[in-house]
Structure 1
Amino acid sequence: MRLAILTLLAATAPALAADPRPEITRDAVQPQQVGVVHTLRQIPEACARIEGAFTGDAAEPYRFAVVRTSPSCQPRARFVDAAKAKPSQADGWLFNDLIRVPNAGCASQQAVVRVWRRPVEQAVKLDGQGQSRVYLDDAKQAAAGGKLAAIPMFAAEMGVEGEACGG
Protein backbone atom coordinates (compact mmCIF):
# COMPACT_ATOMS: atom_id res chain seq x y z
CA MET A 1 0.00 0.00 0.00
CA ARG A 2 1.38 3.37 -0.91
CA LEU A 3 1.58 5.80 2.03
CA ALA A 4 2.54 8.69 -0.20
CA ILE A 5 4.15 9.41 -3.51
CA LEU A 6 6.49 12.31 -3.15
CA THR A 7 8.11 13.74 -6.23
CA LEU A 8 10.06 16.92 -6.77
CA LEU A 9 11.47 17.80 -10.16
CA ALA A 10 15.08 18.57 -10.91
CA ALA A 11 14.28 22.30 -10.74
CA THR A 12 14.24 22.06 -6.94
CA ALA A 13 17.79 20.67 -6.72
CA PRO A 14 19.62 24.04 -6.78
CA ALA A 15 17.55 25.27 -3.83
CA LEU A 16 18.59 22.20 -1.83
CA ALA A 17 22.31 22.45 -2.67
CA ALA A 18 23.51 23.84 0.68
CA ASP A 19 22.74 20.87 2.92
CA PRO A 20 23.65 20.77 6.59
CA ARG A 21 25.64 17.70 7.69
CA PRO A 22 23.31 14.66 7.87
CA GLU A 23 23.05 12.47 10.98
CA ILE A 24 23.87 9.43 8.80
CA THR A 25 26.97 9.49 6.63
CA ARG A 26 27.07 7.16 3.63
CA ASP A 27 28.69 6.82 0.24
CA ALA A 28 26.68 6.92 -2.98
CA VAL A 29 24.75 3.72 -3.57
CA GLN A 30 25.47 1.41 -6.50
CA PRO A 31 24.43 2.88 -9.89
CA GLN A 32 20.89 1.84 -10.78
CA GLN A 33 19.49 0.90 -14.20
CA VAL A 34 16.46 2.65 -15.71
CA GLY A 35 13.20 0.96 -14.74
CA VAL A 36 14.64 -1.05 -11.84
CA VAL A 37 12.86 -0.30 -8.54
CA HIS A 38 15.30 -0.26 -5.64
CA THR A 39 15.05 0.34 -1.88
CA LEU A 40 16.68 3.57 -0.77
CA ARG A 41 16.03 3.39 2.96
CA GLN A 42 14.01 1.47 5.55
CA ILE A 43 12.44 3.41 8.42
CA PRO A 44 11.19 0.70 10.81
CA GLU A 45 9.66 3.08 13.36
CA ALA A 46 7.38 4.49 10.62
CA CYS A 47 6.71 1.02 9.10
CA ALA A 48 7.94 2.46 5.82
CA ARG A 49 10.41 1.85 3.04
CA ILE A 50 11.49 4.44 0.47
CA GLU A 51 11.70 2.99 -3.05
CA GLY A 52 12.93 4.71 -6.18
CA ALA A 53 13.54 4.13 -9.88
CA PHE A 54 15.00 6.00 -12.82
CA THR A 55 12.25 6.39 -15.41
CA GLY A 56 14.08 7.23 -18.64
CA ASP A 57 11.65 10.15 -19.05
CA ALA A 58 13.39 13.53 -19.43
CA ALA A 59 10.47 15.36 -17.77
CA GLU A 60 10.57 13.12 -14.68
CA PRO A 61 13.90 11.24 -14.67
CA TYR A 62 13.51 9.69 -11.20
CA ARG A 63 10.48 8.73 -9.18
CA PHE A 64 10.23 7.57 -5.59
CA ALA A 65 7.51 6.42 -3.23
CA VAL A 66 7.09 5.66 0.44
CA VAL A 67 5.70 2.14 0.83
CA ARG A 68 4.28 0.50 3.94
CA THR A 69 6.49 -2.42 4.99
CA SER A 70 3.79 -4.63 6.51
CA PRO A 71 0.04 -4.36 7.14
CA SER A 72 0.54 -5.62 10.69
CA CYS A 73 3.32 -3.17 11.58
CA GLN A 74 2.36 -0.66 14.29
CA PRO A 75 4.15 2.64 13.53
CA ARG A 76 5.83 4.60 16.32
CA ALA A 77 6.53 7.48 13.94
CA ARG A 78 4.73 9.08 11.02
CA PHE A 79 5.97 9.69 7.48
CA VAL A 80 4.71 13.05 6.16
CA ASP A 81 4.81 14.81 2.79
CA ALA A 82 7.91 17.04 2.71
CA ALA A 83 6.24 19.52 0.36
CA LYS A 84 3.58 20.20 3.00
CA ALA A 85 5.78 19.89 6.11
CA LYS A 86 8.62 22.02 4.68
CA PRO A 87 11.24 20.51 7.02
CA SER A 88 13.99 22.83 8.24
CA GLN A 89 16.34 22.88 11.19
CA ALA A 90 14.74 26.14 12.35
CA ASP A 91 11.46 24.23 12.89
CA GLY A 92 12.99 21.38 14.92
CA TRP A 93 13.70 19.00 12.04
CA LEU A 94 17.05 17.21 11.84
CA PHE A 95 18.71 16.49 8.52
CA ASN A 96 18.86 12.73 8.91
CA ASP A 97 20.17 11.20 5.69
CA LEU A 98 21.46 12.11 2.24
CA ILE A 99 21.15 9.34 -0.35
CA ARG A 100 22.80 9.76 -3.77
CA VAL A 101 21.81 7.32 -6.49
CA PRO A 102 23.84 7.41 -9.74
CA ASN A 103 22.08 6.56 -12.99
CA ALA A 104 23.88 3.49 -14.44
CA GLY A 105 23.00 4.48 -18.01
CA CYS A 106 23.91 8.15 -17.61
CA ALA A 107 27.03 8.84 -15.53
CA SER A 108 26.34 12.61 -15.42
CA GLN A 109 23.01 12.19 -13.62
CA GLN A 110 22.10 11.20 -10.07
CA ALA A 111 18.99 11.23 -7.91
CA VAL A 112 19.42 12.85 -4.50
CA VAL A 113 17.04 11.96 -1.69
CA ARG A 114 17.10 13.96 1.54
CA VAL A 115 15.49 12.42 4.62
CA TRP A 116 14.47 14.63 7.53
CA ARG A 117 13.55 13.52 11.06
CA ARG A 118 11.58 15.48 13.64
CA PRO A 119 12.16 13.90 17.04
CA VAL A 120 9.78 14.22 19.96
CA GLU A 121 10.73 14.00 23.60
CA GLN A 122 8.69 11.06 24.86
CA ALA A 123 8.61 10.45 28.59
CA VAL A 124 7.83 6.80 29.28
CA LYS A 125 5.82 6.15 32.43
CA LEU A 126 6.49 2.81 34.08
CA ASP A 127 4.02 1.08 36.35
CA GLY A 128 4.81 -0.63 39.67
CA GLN A 129 6.18 -3.64 37.80
CA GLY A 130 8.53 -1.52 35.71
CA GLN A 131 6.46 -1.96 32.54
CA SER A 132 5.22 0.68 30.11
CA ARG A 133 1.52 -0.02 29.55
CA VAL A 134 -1.19 1.56 27.46
CA TYR A 135 -4.74 1.01 28.67
CA LEU A 136 -7.45 1.13 26.02
CA ASP A 137 -9.96 3.18 28.03
CA ASP A 138 -7.29 5.72 29.01
CA ALA A 139 -6.11 5.99 25.39
CA LYS A 140 -9.70 6.47 24.14
CA GLN A 141 -10.31 9.23 26.70
CA ALA A 142 -7.07 10.97 25.76
CA ALA A 143 -7.95 10.78 22.06
CA ALA A 144 -11.47 12.10 22.67
CA GLY A 145 -10.01 15.00 24.64
CA GLY A 146 -7.44 15.77 21.94
CA LYS A 147 -4.56 14.93 24.30
CA LEU A 148 -2.67 12.44 22.21
CA ALA A 149 1.08 12.48 22.63
CA ALA A 150 3.12 13.82 19.74
CA ILE A 151 5.05 11.22 17.76
CA PRO A 152 8.27 11.55 15.77
CA MET A 153 7.95 12.35 12.06
CA PHE A 154 9.99 11.66 8.94
CA ALA A 155 9.88 13.38 5.56
CA ALA A 156 11.80 12.82 2.33
CA GLU A 157 12.40 15.10 -0.61
CA MET A 158 13.97 14.27 -3.93
CA GLY A 159 15.78 16.05 -6.70
CA VAL A 160 17.88 15.11 -9.71
CA GLU A 161 21.33 16.59 -10.16
CA GLY A 162 23.54 16.62 -13.22
CA GLU A 163 22.78 16.66 -16.90
CA ALA A 164 20.34 14.38 -18.66
CA CYS A 165 21.80 12.07 -21.27
CA GLY A 166 20.46 12.08 -24.80
CA GLY A 167 19.04 9.07 -26.41
Structure 2
Amino acid sequence: MRPTAIAALAAAVLWSAFAPGARAADPVPEIQRPPATAQAVGVVHSLRQIPEACARMEGAFTGDAAEPYRYAVVRTSPQCQPRARFVDFAKAQPSEAGGWKFNDLIRVPNAACPGQQAVVRVWRKPATTSTPALDGQGQARIYLEDARQQAAAGNVPQVPLYAAQMTVEGKACQ
Protein backbone atom coordinates (compact mmCIF):
# COMPACT_ATOMS: atom_id res chain seq x y z
CA MET A 1 0.00 0.00 0.00
CA ARG A 2 1.09 3.54 -0.62
CA PRO A 3 1.75 5.75 2.41
CA THR A 4 -1.19 8.04 1.52
CA ALA A 5 -3.54 5.04 1.33
CA ILE A 6 -2.31 3.78 4.70
CA ALA A 7 -2.78 7.23 6.24
CA ALA A 8 -6.30 7.51 4.79
CA LEU A 9 -7.20 4.04 6.08
CA ALA A 10 -5.80 4.83 9.53
CA ALA A 11 -7.72 8.12 9.64
CA ALA A 12 -10.95 6.38 8.65
CA VAL A 13 -10.49 3.71 11.31
CA LEU A 14 -9.70 6.29 13.99
CA TRP A 15 -12.58 8.53 12.91
CA SER A 16 -15.07 5.68 13.00
CA ALA A 17 -13.77 4.48 16.37
CA PHE A 18 -13.91 7.87 18.07
CA ALA A 19 -16.65 9.57 16.05
CA PRO A 20 -19.38 11.23 18.07
CA GLY A 21 -22.30 8.86 18.43
CA ALA A 22 -20.35 5.79 17.29
CA ARG A 23 -22.08 2.71 18.60
CA ALA A 24 -20.03 0.34 20.68
CA ALA A 25 -22.44 -2.47 19.75
CA ASP A 26 -21.92 -2.11 15.99
CA PRO A 27 -20.05 -5.10 14.56
CA VAL A 28 -17.41 -4.51 11.89
CA PRO A 29 -19.17 -3.98 8.55
CA GLU A 30 -18.34 -6.11 5.51
CA ILE A 31 -17.69 -2.92 3.50
CA GLN A 32 -15.15 -0.49 4.93
CA ARG A 33 -15.53 3.11 3.77
CA PRO A 34 -14.55 6.56 5.03
CA PRO A 35 -17.24 9.14 5.82
CA ALA A 36 -18.90 10.63 2.74
CA THR A 37 -18.39 14.18 1.55
CA ALA A 38 -20.37 16.73 3.57
CA GLN A 39 -23.72 17.48 1.93
CA ALA A 40 -25.60 20.78 1.80
CA VAL A 41 -29.16 21.19 3.06
CA GLY A 42 -31.78 20.40 0.41
CA VAL A 43 -29.43 18.53 -1.94
CA VAL A 44 -30.56 14.96 -2.70
CA HIS A 45 -27.58 12.60 -2.85
CA SER A 46 -27.10 8.88 -3.42
CA LEU A 47 -25.92 6.92 -0.42
CA ARG A 48 -25.48 3.53 -2.01
CA GLN A 49 -26.76 1.45 -4.89
CA ILE A 50 -27.64 -2.22 -4.51
CA PRO A 51 -27.88 -3.57 -8.08
CA GLU A 52 -29.14 -7.03 -7.14
CA ALA A 53 -32.15 -5.42 -5.38
CA CYS A 54 -32.66 -2.86 -8.21
CA ALA A 55 -32.53 -0.20 -5.51
CA ARG A 56 -30.71 3.00 -4.65
CA MET A 57 -30.66 4.63 -1.24
CA GLU A 58 -30.79 8.40 -1.35
CA GLY A 59 -31.14 11.12 1.23
CA ALA A 60 -31.09 14.84 1.89
CA PHE A 61 -30.62 17.10 4.88
CA THR A 62 -33.84 19.08 5.34
CA GLY A 63 -32.87 21.90 7.70
CA ASP A 64 -35.93 21.01 9.80
CA ALA A 65 -35.17 20.30 13.46
CA ALA A 66 -38.02 17.76 13.72
CA GLU A 67 -36.81 15.75 10.71
CA PRO A 68 -33.21 16.78 9.96
CA TYR A 69 -32.59 14.11 7.31
CA ARG A 70 -34.92 12.49 4.80
CA TYR A 71 -34.01 9.02 3.51
CA ALA A 72 -35.62 6.78 0.88
CA VAL A 73 -34.99 3.58 -1.05
CA VAL A 74 -35.93 4.07 -4.70
CA ARG A 75 -36.12 1.66 -7.61
CA THR A 76 -33.31 2.14 -10.13
CA SER A 77 -35.18 1.10 -13.27
CA PRO A 78 -38.59 -0.35 -14.13
CA GLN A 79 -36.89 -2.90 -16.42
CA CYS A 80 -34.55 -4.17 -13.68
CA GLN A 81 -35.30 -7.73 -12.49
CA PRO A 82 -34.36 -7.92 -8.79
CA ARG A 83 -32.37 -10.89 -7.49
CA ALA A 84 -32.67 -9.62 -3.90
CA ARG A 85 -35.30 -7.78 -1.84
CA PHE A 86 -35.17 -4.70 0.35
CA VAL A 87 -37.28 -5.23 3.49
CA ASP A 88 -38.47 -2.94 6.27
CA PHE A 89 -35.86 -2.71 9.03
CA ALA A 90 -38.44 -2.53 11.85
CA LYS A 91 -40.18 -5.71 10.70
CA ALA A 92 -37.00 -7.66 9.90
CA GLN A 93 -35.09 -6.64 13.06
CA PRO A 94 -31.77 -7.83 11.63
CA SER A 95 -29.13 -9.26 13.93
CA GLU A 96 -26.12 -11.51 13.52
CA ALA A 97 -27.89 -14.13 15.62
CA GLY A 98 -30.71 -14.19 13.03
CA GLY A 99 -28.36 -14.93 10.13
CA TRP A 100 -27.94 -11.30 9.04
CA LYS A 101 -24.56 -9.76 8.26
CA PHE A 102 -23.70 -6.13 9.05
CA ASN A 103 -22.93 -5.07 5.49
CA ASP A 104 -22.24 -1.34 5.42
CA LEU A 105 -21.97 1.76 7.60
CA ILE A 106 -22.50 5.02 5.71
CA ARG A 107 -21.83 8.36 7.44
CA VAL A 108 -22.83 11.63 5.76
CA PRO A 109 -21.82 14.88 7.50
CA ASN A 110 -24.07 17.94 7.26
CA ALA A 111 -22.17 20.77 5.50
CA ALA A 112 -24.27 23.43 7.24
CA CYS A 113 -23.88 21.84 10.67
CA PRO A 114 -20.49 20.12 11.12
CA GLY A 115 -21.49 18.42 14.39
CA GLN A 116 -24.38 16.56 12.77
CA GLN A 117 -24.31 13.51 10.51
CA ALA A 118 -26.72 11.02 8.99
CA VAL A 119 -25.76 7.41 9.65
CA VAL A 120 -27.16 4.54 7.58
CA ARG A 121 -26.57 0.98 8.71
CA VAL A 122 -27.16 -1.64 6.00
CA TRP A 123 -27.74 -5.29 6.86
CA ARG A 124 -27.69 -8.23 4.43
CA LYS A 125 -29.16 -11.71 4.85
CA PRO A 126 -27.66 -14.14 2.33
CA ALA A 127 -29.96 -16.57 0.57
CA THR A 128 -29.84 -20.17 1.68
CA THR A 129 -30.33 -21.75 -1.71
CA SER A 130 -28.61 -24.70 -3.26
CA THR A 131 -27.59 -25.32 -6.86
CA PRO A 132 -30.01 -27.60 -8.72
CA ALA A 133 -28.85 -31.13 -9.45
CA LEU A 134 -26.98 -31.60 -12.73
CA ASP A 135 -28.99 -33.10 -15.58
CA GLY A 136 -27.82 -35.71 -18.12
CA GLN A 137 -25.81 -33.07 -20.00
CA GLY A 138 -24.02 -31.89 -16.86
CA GLN A 139 -25.99 -28.60 -16.65
CA ALA A 140 -27.83 -27.17 -13.64
CA ARG A 141 -31.20 -26.24 -15.10
CA ILE A 142 -34.46 -24.97 -13.69
CA TYR A 143 -37.46 -26.12 -15.70
CA LEU A 144 -40.59 -23.96 -15.73
CA GLU A 145 -43.03 -26.74 -14.86
CA ASP A 146 -40.82 -27.98 -12.01
CA ALA A 147 -40.55 -24.43 -10.66
CA ARG A 148 -44.35 -24.02 -10.80
CA GLN A 149 -44.85 -27.26 -8.89
CA GLN A 150 -42.32 -26.19 -6.25
CA ALA A 151 -44.03 -22.80 -5.89
CA ALA A 152 -47.44 -24.46 -5.54
CA ALA A 153 -46.00 -26.68 -2.80
CA GLY A 154 -44.68 -23.60 -0.99
CA ASN A 155 -41.05 -24.44 -1.74
CA VAL A 156 -39.99 -21.10 -3.24
CA PRO A 157 -36.24 -20.46 -3.40
CA GLN A 158 -35.06 -17.71 -1.08
CA VAL A 159 -33.37 -14.55 -2.29
CA PRO A 160 -30.91 -12.35 -0.39
CA LEU A 161 -32.53 -9.69 1.78
CA TYR A 162 -31.35 -6.17 2.61
CA ALA A 163 -32.53 -3.84 5.37
CA ALA A 164 -31.30 -0.38 6.28
CA GLN A 165 -31.69 1.84 9.31
CA MET A 166 -31.09 5.59 9.23
CA THR A 167 -30.31 7.71 12.28
CA VAL A 168 -29.10 11.26 12.76
CA GLU A 169 -26.25 11.65 15.23
CA GLY A 170 -24.67 14.73 16.77
CA LYS A 171 -25.95 18.09 17.88
CA ALA A 172 -28.54 19.99 15.88
CA CYS A 173 -27.55 23.47 14.75
CA GLN A 174 -29.66 26.54 15.43
TM-score (norm 1): 0.85
Q: Per residue, is there more strand in 1 or in 2?
A: 1
Q: Distance in 2 between matches of 1:144 and 1:39?
A: 39
What fraction of aligned residue pairs are identical, expressed as a percent?
A: 70
Superposition misfits of 4+ residues, deviation over 6 angstroms? none
- Whose Rg is larger? 2
* Alpha-carbon spacing, 1:104–1:15, altered in 2? closer, same or farther (3 Å): closer
Q: Secondary structure at the match of 1:111?
A: strand
Select the structure with the greater relative contact order (CA < 8 A; seq sep ≥ 6): 1
RMSD of aligned residue pairs (Cα, Å): 1.7
Cα distance, 1:16 vs structure 2? 5.5
For 1:45, give the aligned amino acid: E
Q: Counterpart in 2 of 1:23? A: 30
Name the count of aligned residue pairs: 153
Q: Which runs of 5+ in 1 are unaligned?
A: 1-13
For 2:121, give the aligned amino acid: R
Q: Counterpart in 2 of 1:3? A: none
Q: Counterpart in 1 of 2:119? A: 112
Q: Distance in 2 between matches of 1:15 and 1:87?
A: 19
Q: Which runs of 5+ in 2 are unaligned?
A: 1-20
Cα distance, 1:136 vs structure 2? 2.1
TM-score (norm 2): 0.82
1:114-166 Cα deviation digits (max 9, x unpaired)? 00001123222244445443322222221111110111100000100000100
Q: Distance in 2 between matches of 1:67 and 1:133?
A: 32
Say whether 1:76 aligns with 2:83: yes
Q: Distance in 2 between matches of 1:128 and 1:83?
A: 46
